[in-house]
Structure 1
Amino acid sequence: MRVYLIVFYLTLIIWPALTAASSLPSFVDHPCADDYSELPQNITCGTLVVAENPNDKASSPVGLPVVVVKALQPVEDAAPVIFLHGGPGSHAVTNVRTMLTNARNKPLIARDQDWIFFDQRGGRRATPNLNCPDVEMTDAGPVAEQDVQALIACGHRFKAAGIDLNHYNALQSAADIQSLRKALGIGEYHLFGYSNGTRVALTTMDHYPDELVSVVVDSVWPREATWTEGTPTTLANAVRGIIKHCQLNQDCQQRYPELEAHVEALAKRFLAAPQAGSDGRLYPATALGAFLMDSGYAKQAISFLPQQLEQMYQGNYQVLESFELADYRSTGAHIAYLCHDEIGFESQAQVARNAGDDPIAQLAVKSLENYFDVCAAYGIKSGPAREALEVKSRIPTLFVSAEIDPGCPPEFAEATASHFENGQFVMVPNTTHGVFLESPCARSMVRQFLLNPKQPVDRACLAN
């Protein structure tokens, strides 16, 4: 039913929007695909239609769904906020209703200012949607060889359909933001980038600084970071951070006094050979790495992790048997962005070297190396050299990081903030990836900042 509804939406709403556009870029208003009737906000929808290749007048159109949420209690002259989802290859539009109905978001989203959500190129409701079905993937890469082959076959299908994957990346998304802003008649504006959306935000600041009042970046992924080369270390550091929290908690420490040694022994066991579950399946080291990567992003999952790791150390792999990887990416878009923005600047040989002899870090090596095989098959050109360099800016920017984050650790944000004359760095303890979703304190600081970006945010709530 879900697939049918998405196809119905694309057929009846986005496709007419694409064909109705007489010149590109353009914006076509249309009814919202989701039902917002019970919400108090005034919500309108449309599709931004842009050329896949802006430098080619004959290029195919690309449709980006847009949802505009008017502020409930608008502050006079407050510029709107454009929200940038993560991934890459994730989505924003399908989450709008949930974000607005969740009580924890009500003090922030579309309260003082209009908020604008859109799916970046290749996202779930974008046209084309670059999803590749039946692929298991985390931010540590395609899990198994069958996932690599499925992604490669999918890339060939995209090319056969006339899609040029060289135009799905952060640099192009930054240009799309300008098209969206102009189409909606927006002058000054704020950006809120989340996860890989922070990379799009930083790229926008670098190439299109005009009219930007301020930027909030939550769970920061800077341009100079290395996706494949650095992730073994960030994953291992996050796991050890969780273990440290367990050691500092009397009950957890008493239950699992040798947790770090057991986790390392568990990792070595998987690295030596795939482990058999009670379901008869063999689970390779990449499966354990994928489990740790996805679990490290979620606060609720982290609270169970010491117990689960101890169970696996004892030979009970039921947690892997029942574990389902997060399904939030259009996997082909994820690959297209990374091939252009990251992989072309990195070395496959360096991935294993950076993992060194750390068994936890080594769990992610093979899946991260898989990126290189897929990118080679996709044939996407890497971005300009500038896109791998650090960004420096005078635009007021709030850097928000979680204490534990296997993909976007706080040291990334702190280092990037040091290059910003008007940057503020905040690390929120006892939180994970996507701080504004987890922490009322973070939401309070973000709201303060968006209303007055030139003032230091009040950090008193961090004490709690």
Structure 2
Amino acid sequence: MINGERLIFSFSKFAIMCDHLVIRSLTSRSFKVKNTIALLLCLLTGFHSFLYAQTDHPQPDQLPKDTLAPEKVAKLHEPASKKKPLAILPRIETEPCPFLKKFDKYQADCGTLFVKENPDEAHTLKKPARIVTIPIMILQPAGPVTGDPVVITGGGGPGSAIYLMDEYDDDPAMYYSGIETSTLQNGRPLILMEMRGSGLSIADLDCPAITDLEIDLLTTYPYKPDNKRVIKTITNCANRKKLLGVDANFYNTDYAVKDIDTLRQLLEFEKWHLLGISHGTRISLRYAEQYPQHTASLILDSIYPFEVDPYAELAEHSVQVFTQPFTLCDADPRCRLADGTASVTLFESFMAQIQQEPPTLNVDYYDESWTVGQKTVKVSPELVAYALFNNSYDSDAIFAFPQIIKDALNKDYAKLSALISETIDLQNYTWFSEGAYSSYACYEEIPFSNFALATENAKKYKLPYWDDLPAIKLDPQLCQIWNIKAAVNNIKNFDHEQLTLPVLILAGDLDPFTPSIWAIDFHAKLPMRNKTQHLRVWPLKSHNLVYEDKCVETVILSFLNDPEQTINNECAIQDMREVEFVKESIIDADTDDSQ
């Protein structure tokens, strides 16, 4: 166990009031202006129990009646010997997850990892630590523990959350369904944790106003980008976080790696397997690079290698979103057009049609009070393109796009309305932290990208309804707005030859965001490839394969049980049959065209 700093706990009347405000601010988006100002004063002066501690408690009768819960008031009367002990940093606090009242399949503990924002800086009582809290969940296997744990290293993005919550209706299967057999049914604990700065972590770098503005612009007809408003909104958010004392330079991959190993030490595991998805693969790779002795193996799903330049490739991959679904449709006799016309022409016709005569749809969404509401939207080509782009992470959605367009051309907008509803749904906002995106990307990606090439390609691949140039121009400004310093430790120069531990790389052949060529190139550089370092590229699959189907889980189980064996390939037979079907369909289509 790590021995951390000790902080002396206590409350003043002002401290308890501030703590009350902090809790209210975290649970309500409609926080009143006066209370927001009071909270700001609390945070600036440091009087709240997350960060500070003293020794003298006020008497309960001196406090407002609604300030403390009864159990907290009772604790004020406890004798000194029963007072809360001195706090230790870093530390974890867990308790049985609330969903266990209805769920008994596995034992689960939910809780928080408490670490210093800057783990390398010494603190004193006069200069106490700023604390970062990171939600964690620990699921125990059905039987005895017989293997090292598997830990999921944060969400994708960067800035996306695993979205650990402390309330569930019954079964939290969304967290384990894709790897249940390989972990909880085979003696391996499953551990989940957020990245600092994302999800329900505190400090929270989320900027909901940025997403609100983005959706507002997209749902206003005709669509007009407004970079001045976007930059102003981002700047306002960054300034608010700075006023709260947040230094975004401590929210990046290297500090996330420190958090992971801190948790390992506190849980007293010698080794564990790391499972990273999308940007989480970078965190897993960085951890293995720095802590190889504590890494049993890596499972890298939709790998995002350090050496790639995603900005230079962005526009080419974006175009794929709008062509790939229709190419697949043309290769499938069940989908392609009877007259042999390329189905992408339907998409082009629909986009031209709504440019001239935009349909007006009533779409469902969740409002700020988490109730279902309806929004009347005049649909622009840009909104349709944005909805398609956001759903291209899901292979099923990719295959559904042509039918959505066919229906819409026939004035049946039900499927299109549902697609747009998912795009503007306020419930999805907390899955992505705009500030965390900036802090991670400005540390490891943006300063090292070739923006001249990115600009050239954006102009080359620009579409009437999609233009990557505004984002390419905007993102370098994020680093100045947030005042983020770039990594100085060669983070982009990953040493593949030093990665000798077992590795399983999973990729989807339809993935436009972390294309399978990245996985193929990365695997080709590994020293133990095809021995203990394996690559599986799934046909007809897109991003995030772990939660796709049982075949993926069978391969993961085979790898975890024995990475030196040939990876179980039985379930891939159906996959290959599907590929052959598509290939044969393409040949048939070519033959038909030639005739």
| Residue in structure 1 matched with residue 513 of structure 2 by the alignment | 407
CA pair 431-54 structure 1, distance change in 2 beyond 3 A: same
The superposition leaves residues 331-378 of structure 1 with CA deviations (integer Å, 9 ceiling, x where unpaired) of 221222112121121244332212352245953332343322333211
CA pair 109-154 structure 1, distance change in 2 beyond 3 A: farther
| Residue in structure 2 matched with residue 203 of structure 1 by the alignment | 286
CA pair 289-341 structure 1, distance change in 2 beyond 3 A: farther
User: What is the distance in 2 between the residues matched to 1:408 and 1:282?
Assistant: 29
| Residue in structure 2 matched with residue 436 of structure 1 by the alignment | 546
Asked if 2 retains the 8 angstrom alpha-carbon contact of 1:136 and 1:147, the reply is: no
The superposition leaves residues 288-325 of structure 1 with CA deviations (integer Å, 9 ceiling, x where unpaired) of 55323212111332122113345678999965754515
Residue 478 (structure 2) pairs with residue 374 (structure 1): yes
Equivalenced residues, count: 451
Asked if 2 retains the 8 angstrom alpha-carbon contact of 1:391 and 1:416, the reply is: no
User: What is the distance in 1 between the residues matched to 2:333 and 2:561?
Assistant: 42
CA pair 306-65 structure 1, distance change in 2 beyond 3 A: same
RMSD: 3.5
Residue 568 (structure 2) pairs with residue 458 (structure 1): yes
CA pair 435-61 structure 1, distance change in 2 beyond 3 A: same
Asked if 2 retains the 8 angstrom alpha-carbon contact of 1:70 and 1:114, the reply is: yes
Alignment of 1:387-426 (within 5 A): 387-392=491-496, 393-422=499-528, 423-426=533-536
Helix, strand or coil: the match of 1:324?
helix
Asked if 1 retains the 8 angstrom alpha-carbon contact of 2:112 and 2:135, the reply is: yes
Asked if 1 retains the 8 angstrom alpha-carbon contact of 2:92 and 2:111, the reply is: yes
Higher RCO by CA contacts (8 Å cutoff, separation 6 or greater): 1
| Residue in structure 2 matched with residue 71 of structure 1 by the alignment | 141
Helix, strand or coil: the match of 1:435?
coil
Asked if 2 retains the 8 angstrom alpha-carbon contact of 1:431 and 1:439, the reply is: no
User: What is the distance in 2 between the residues matched to 1:323 and 1:69?
Assistant: 30
Asked if 2 retains the 8 angstrom alpha-carbon contact of 1:93 and 1:117, the reply is: no
Q: Flag structure 2 segments of 5+ consecutive residues without an equivalent.
A: 1-22, 29-47, 53-84, 124-128, 219-224, 361-375, 575-595
**% of aligned pairs identical?**
22
Asked if 2 retains the 8 angstrom alpha-carbon contact of 1:219 and 1:433, the reply is: yes
User: What is the distance in 2 between the residues matched to 1:34 and 1:120?
Assistant: 23
Residue among 297, 300, 308 paired with 2:404: 308
Alignment of 1:58-137 (within 5 A): 58=123, 59-74=129-144, 76=146, 78-84=147-153, 85-92=155-162, 94=164, 98-99=172-173, 105-112=179-186, 113-136=188-211
Asked if 2 retains the 8 angstrom alpha-carbon contact of 1:81 and 1:192, the reply is: yes
CA pair 56-130 structure 1, distance change in 2 beyond 3 A: same
The superposition leaves residues 43-95 of structure 1 with CA deviations (integer Å, 9 ceiling, x where unpaired) of 1233211111122223411111211111113463x111111222322223527
Helix, strand or coil: the match of 1:49?
strand
Residue among 416, 427, 449 paired with 1:346: 449
TM-score, scaled to structure 1: 0.85
User: What is the distance in 2 between the residues matched to 1:216 and 1:228?
Assistant: 25
Measured after TM superposition, the shift of residue 175 of structure 1 is 1.4
Q: Which amino acid aligns with 2:486?
A: S
User: What is the distance in 2 between the residues matched to 1:178 and 1:257?
Assistant: 56
Alignment of 1:280-299 (within 5 A): 281=378, 283=380, 285=382, 287-299=383-395
| Residue in structure 2 matched with residue 164 of structure 1 by the alignment | 247
Q: Flag structure 1 segments of 5+ consecutive residues without an equivalent.
A: 9-14
The superposition leaves residues 126-173 of structure 1 with CA deviations (integer Å, 9 ceiling, x where unpaired) of 111221113339xxxx97534443222111111111100011111111
| Residue in structure 2 matched with residue 324 of structure 1 by the alignment | 423
User: What is the distance in 1 between the residues matched to 2:292 and 2:518?
Assistant: 22
Helix, strand or coil: the match of 2:135?
strand
Moved more, 166-175 or 454-463: 454-463
User: What is the distance in 2 between the residues matched to 1:101 and 1:385?
Assistant: 34
Residue among 557, 567, 574 paired with 1:447: 557
Helix, strand or coil: the match of 2:537?
strand
Measured after TM superposition, the shift of residue 282 of structure 1 is 7.4
| Residue in structure 2 matched with residue 149 of structure 1 by the alignment | 232
